[in-house]
Amino acid sequence: MILTVTLNAALDVTHRLDRLRRYGSNRVRDVAERAGGKGVNVSRVLHALGQPTVVTGLAGGLTGAALRRDLVEAGLADQLLPIEGESRRTVAVVEEQAGDTTILLEPGPVVRPGEWARFLGRLDALLPGAAAVVFSGSLPRGVPEDAYAVLVRRAHAHDVPAVVDADGAALRAALPAGPALVKPNAGELAAATGLADPVAAARSLRAAGAGAVVASLGPDGLIALTPHGGWRARSPERLAGNPTGAGDAAVAALTLGLVAGAPWPDLLAEAVALSAAAVAAPLAGEFDPAVHRRLRSLVDVRPLRT
């Protein structure tokens, strides 16, 4: 079982309309709601691949109840810890005429110290059944700044490899605890290190404690710096679509590869193919199985010249 941890789980609300009249009153044609947050998306991809996965993290209030209801409807194992605060919504306003989307991100709850302590207990109870654990996304207010370091150390104590997909201070704070893998995107990599060159930046994250660094560079694919060498992996095709969730699909593939002990080039090819298949699907956490099957043998993986 792969455990995913989403500390700031969200209810993703999508509003569709023809065109948004700014400073006007707009009738929304269609509303959709689903559970969101990066860890939830990773579990959705794993579940669609037929891999056992459990969702944990923090969720509260009526927004938390709505997102948990959706997890159950999606057939995902829900082990989110209930908290007092109200979980955040993200509102995506999709303008169908323009084909473009405006996103509003609520700040989310303030976690109480007792709730954080209870979550650590929940994690300790779940880790013995996990082959790997994925820590994804932003930290809600009220949890310690080094939350991901604390959590990675818990995973180590249970001999469970930890994957961290976070940015900024949350990512930097995790590194000394020695996560098996971190997966920043290009912007997060530059922001976390102050270095413009992705290879140099990835090297500095490894030096700070990450076992492997896989950076997603959008249409330029992935670069990986690992204990066994460095690679660059690229899709043979550029697919149009929805890039939200592409990084989460890559994390799902990377974590499965880590657990299976797959050779890095195979693991990276799978991550690129699954990520491209996620771009080709309309919703975060979904992927196009035909694109996945077609691309997995076509991904170009070559050693990094360093």
Q: State the nearest-atom distance from the C-beta of 23 to a copy of itself, in Å.
A: 4
Q: State the nearest-atom distance from the C-beta of 242 to a copy of itself, in Å.
A: 14
How big is the site for a copy of itself, counted in residues (CB under 8 A)? Answer: 33
Quick check: 64 and 39 in contact, CB under 8 A? no
Give the β-pairing of 10-17 and 88-95. parallel
Contact region for a copy of itself (CB under 8 A) — 59-67, 163-171, 232-240, 266-274?
59-67
For a copy of itself, give the closer residue by CB, 67 or 258: 67
Quick check: 3 and 134 in contact, CB under 8 A? yes
With binding defined as CB under 8 A, does residue 65 bind a copy of itself?
Answer: yes
Quick check: 134 and 39 in contact, CB under 8 A? yes
- Identify the H or E element spanning 120: helix 113-126
Q: State the nearest-atom distance from the C-beta of 90 to a copy of itself, in Å.
A: 9
Among residue numbers 191 through 250, which ones bind a copy of itself (CB under 8 A)? none
For a copy of itself, give the closer residue by CB, 98 or 157: 98
Beta partners for residue 14, in sequence order:
32, 92
User: Strand locations in 137-190, DSSP E?
Assistant: 162-165, 181-182
Among residue numbers 67 through 96, which ones bind a copy of itself (CB under 8 A)? 69, 88-89, 91, 93
Among residue numbers 3 through 32, which ones bind a copy of itself (CB under 8 A)? 13, 15, 17, 20-31
Among residue numbers 98 through 127, which ones bind a copy of itself (CB under 8 A)? 98, 100-107
Interior angle at CA 50, CA 48 and CA 55, nearest 5: 70
For a copy of itself, give the closer residue by CB, 79 or 101: 101
Q: State the nearest-atom distance from the C-beta of 55 to a copy of itself, in Å.
A: 19
Q: Which of 165, 248, 288, 300 is catalytic?
A: 248
**Rounded Cα–Cα distance for residues 224 and 178 (Å):** 16
| Residue 230: strand, helix, or coil | strand
Task: State the sign of the Cα–Cα–Cα–Cα dihedral 144, 146, 152, 154.
Answer: negative
Give the β-pairing of 2-6 and 53-60. parallel
Rg (CA), the chain: 19
Rounded alpha-carbon distances, angstroms, from residue 53 to 67, 120, 179, 213, 282: 17, 19, 19, 23, 22
For a copy of itself, give the closer residue by CB, 21 or 305: 21
For a copy of itself, give the closer residue by CB, 27 or 305: 27
Written as one letter, the residue type at 60 is G
Residue 30 known to be catalytic: no
For a copy of itself, give the closer residue by CB, 88 or 296: 88
Which residues contact a copy of itself by CB under 8 A?
13, 15, 17, 20-31, 62-63, 65-66, 69, 88-89, 91, 93, 98, 100-107
Catalytic site positions: 248
